[in-house]
Amino acid sequence: MKKYLLVALMLVCSLSKAQSINDYKAVIVPVKYDWLKQDNQYRLNTLTKFNLEKAGFQVFYNKESIPSSFNDRCNLLYATVLNQSNFLTTKLVVQLKDCNEKVVFESEVGKSKEKEYKVAYTEALNEAFESVLALAYQYSGAAVVAQEIVVAKPVEQMSAPKSSEVVVAPSASTASVTSGADLLYAQATATGFQLIDSTPKVVMKLMKTSQPNSFIAIKGELQGSLLLKDGQWYFEYYKNDVLLSEKVNVKF
């Protein structure tokens, strides 16, 4: 009998979390996690943003300008990734917090036994996001009232190792580059679009996400996102650990 009551309680807590997730308009992702040395190291912050957009959220980096409709901090969630790795296994957990630093959702532990850091972190983070995708997020439009959320399962948080090395971030981690004076034309493909110039030459390849105003974008060796902001498209990507935003003149 106690076993069934426990299962029922966990189910109620899970439903409560899923409902509260739907009350938030967007998610803010940091450009650097505390346990890493550099911005977007191993491309984990880009991968976090990509997976959240795949789950249906609108997502912004914490150092970029966001539309005024998102100015209410308590209508937003704040993502972080916890490193619970040990000597043999890479373990990552995704947390979504509210404006009062209370945990609204905590993922299952994503694991990898790969030896190379970039491969292991990527594999573990993608596995952790499976429980985020399972929420089937859909914004409800309801106003958020800050409240304490009951977490169904306790997770033992291990302290991430700290390095004595201090990495000084650039004074402006987000740079703006204006280019694209020539109009690009969008041609439909099986997975999204390709943008061509008047030559015609393929300048950029776009892959659809769950958001109509956000694409995964590939331009030469650069990979990032094409986002619609205030009626203008921007190609955002990292170069030398600096987030760049490039204006793109495109006709769909």
Count CB-CB contacts under 10 A for residue 187.
13
Q: What pLDDT was estimated at residue 178?
A: 38
Cβ-proximal residues to 102 (8 Å cutoff; 6+ apart), any chain: 146, 148, 149
Give me the domains of the chain, ranges plus CATH numbers: 6-133 (3.40.50), 174-251 (no CATH)
Lookup: tokens for 1: 């009998």
pLDDT of 32 > 90? The answer is yes
Q: What pLDDT was estimated at residue 46?
A: 93
Q: What pLDDT was estimated at residue 147?
A: 43
Confidence of residue 23 (pLDDT cuts 50, 70, 90): confident
Q: Considering the chain, what is the average pLDDT of its residues?
A: 79
Confidence of residue 109 (pLDDT cuts 50, 70, 90): very high
Count CB-CB contacts under 10 A for residue 75.
18
Model pTM score:
0.53
Angle 44-54/117-128 helices, nearest 10 degrees?
A: 20
Distance, CA of 162 to CA of 142 (rounded, Å): 40
Q: What pLDDT was estimated at residue 160?
A: 40
Q: What pLDDT was estimated at residue 144?
A: 52
Q: What pLDDT was estimated at residue 165?
A: 36
Confidence of residue 112 (pLDDT cuts 50, 70, 90): very high
Q: Tell me how far the alpha carbon of residue 216 is from its chain's centroid.
A: 12
* Average pLDDT for 235-246: 87
* Average pLDDT for 209-227: 88
pLDDT of 83 > 60? The answer is yes
Query: What is the total residue count of the chain?
Result: 252
Distance, CA of 4 to CA of 173 (rounded, Å): 51
Confidence of residue 186 (pLDDT cuts 50, 70, 90): confident
